[in-house]
Amino acid sequence: MGSVSRLLADYGPAFGQALLLTWKLTAVSFVAGFALGLAVTVLRLFPLRPLRFVLTGYVEIFRNIPSAALLIFIVFALPDLQVLIDYEPSVILTLTLVCSAFTADYLRAGINTVDGGQVEAALSLGMRPMRIISAVILPQALRAVVQPMTSLLIALMLSTSLASQVPFPGRELTALVAKIANDSAAGMPAFAVAAALYVATGLLIAWAGATLEKKVRILR
Amino acid sequence: MSRPLEDILFGDPGPEAQTTTRAVSMTAAAVLLLLAMGVVMRFHGAGQFEARLWKFFAWPTTWAFLASGLLGTLASAAMAAVIALALGLVLLLGRLSPLRLARYPSIAVIEFLRGVPTLLLIYVCFLVLPSAGIKLSTYWMLTLPIALSTAAVVAEVYRAGVLAVPRGQTDAARSLGLTEAQVFFLIVFPQALRYIVPALVAQLVIVVKDTTFGYVVTYGELMQNAKVLIANYHALVPVYLVVAVLYCLVNYAISKASRRLGRPMH
């Protein structure tokens, strides 16, 4: 226990900043990824073959590519194509693309829980397709995917550890542990503190997700 | 009634709607084509089509090297998966045990391993354990952390399956005089497995993705071998593109297989 308190005396503020950066990367890429995934889901509903084809390809590519490989491509290969993106935006872009693909996948499953009869009923009331999507389909689909989206958010939070692979000035939790382990013998306590922060964040997200799920769940 | 929603939404369009759809489709196709051409132009403009960046893909040695990387990926992923499936069962049994002394530690271990990034565990095996005198080979530095974090997830997947088995099955088995162990291993667990095959296969995709971190510990998997190729030929874009396609193909095949397995069996 003594080694942990000594560690916190030396690196306390660094851990605070690392936790905040981990949270920031998670929040920014989740919001962007969710919005993008929602857009992909809606566009995939339209009867436009070429668009559907390309978007299905998009979802399959970013669902199946390892995030680390994607990040390395964006950071190290894109400059060869004269596309230069700074380190932190690169990490956010990577996580956003992956998050959007999974969001689109889960939302599609959520949409499948909506009964076709409801769409027919809405059509017979004279509602236009776009209005049916926004007023009938999406609200139910969104309520159905709270649980998988919570798991996705936790997975995304853990994936921010990818940021330790690129040398940007701020350090999130994993990069900080790697640095402390390199610089001193305090690797084990540093790992323990970072692990506790990760686990606590994950439990917090899981709790929030379960609470939301209880509120919006549709009992059929 | 089982028509896809989008067919109902836009189904059976009149001639006018058909014309509109066709026009918009053509426009969308044109825009997408322009985008693709833009990407090709960018490749050309950056000199990425130069023969020296691609010609080594015509050599069998290049593909043999990539194949050995893929083999390294699969060797690590397969071992991690086997360990995770076995250790996950141990954690599950602890988690379901009526003994608090077994249950609470199991819950703690599961939450801990599930809640920590695999990459952080890899760094512990790579940077921290050696200073404590424990030296692992690069294969285990990569495989062990992946196996541990996957085991915790697998334990939770198992549990979801076990909870989905109807209670009557347990009661009936008990009334036949089976022991608790027999009830679990002969009646409950085999049925639970059938429910969770798709989730387990999805986990396998994540295991394959996690092995990408092999380059952190310089274990010779696909990503690490890609880096070696790049160091030799300075062809970042081509090599990473080919490797990305390989990863997508492997993982797509795995999840396709899961969809087939996941179909109802009766």
pLDDT (0 to 100) of residue B84: 95
Nearest C-alpha of chain B: how many angstroms from A168?
A: 17
Say whether pLDDT at A2 is over 70: no
In terms of CA atoms, which chain B residue is nearest residue A58?
B248
Asked if pLDDT for residue A150 goes beyond 60, the answer is: yes
Total domains, chain A? 1
**Chain B contact for A183 (CB, 8 A cutoff):** no
Q: Is A146 on the interface with B (CB under 8 A)?
A: no
Q: For chain B, positions 199-258, list CB contacts with chain A under 8 A.
A: 205, 208-210, 212-213, 216, 223, 236-237, 240-241, 243-244, 247-248, 251-252, 255
Backbone phi, psi, residue A7, to 5°: -60, -45
Domain with residue A75: its CATH number is 1.10.3720.10
So what's the pLDDT on residue B65? 85
pLDDT tens across A58-74, in order?
999 999 999 999 999 99
Minimal CA separation from A91 to chain B, in Å: 15
pLDDT of residue B219: 85
The residue segments making up the domain with residue A99 are 3-216
Interface membership of B114 toward A (CB under 8 Å): yes
For residue A174, the chain B residue with the least C-alpha distance is: B120
Q: Return the domain boundaries, chain B.
A: 5-46, 61-262
Above 70 in pLDDT, residue A98?
yes
* Cβ atoms of residues B94 and B110 within 8 Å: no
Average pLDDT over residues A169-174: 85
Predicted model pTM: 0.88
Mean predicted lDDT score pLDDT of chain A = 89
For residue B186, the distance in angstroms to the closest alpha carbon of chain A comes to: 31
B221/chain A closest Cα distance in angstroms: 12
Low-confidence ranges of chain B (pLDDT < 70): 1-2, 262-266
List of chain B residues whose C-beta atoms are within 8 Å of the C-beta of residue A75: none
Count the Cβ atoms, other than its own, within 10 Å of residue B134. 9
Q: Who wins on pLDDT, A87 or B15?
A: A87
CATH tag for B61-262 (out of 3.40.50.740, 3.30.420.10, 1.10.3720.10, 1.20.1430.10):
1.10.3720.10
Residue in A69, A178, A199 closest to B111 by CB:
A199
pLDDT at B262: 62
Count the residues in chain A: 220
Compute the average pLDDT of residues A98-125. 91
Instruction: Select from B26, B39, B240 the residue whose CB has the most chain A CBs within 10 Å, as the one to mutate to test that interface.
Output: B240
Q: How far is B244 from chain A (nearest CA, A)?
A: 6
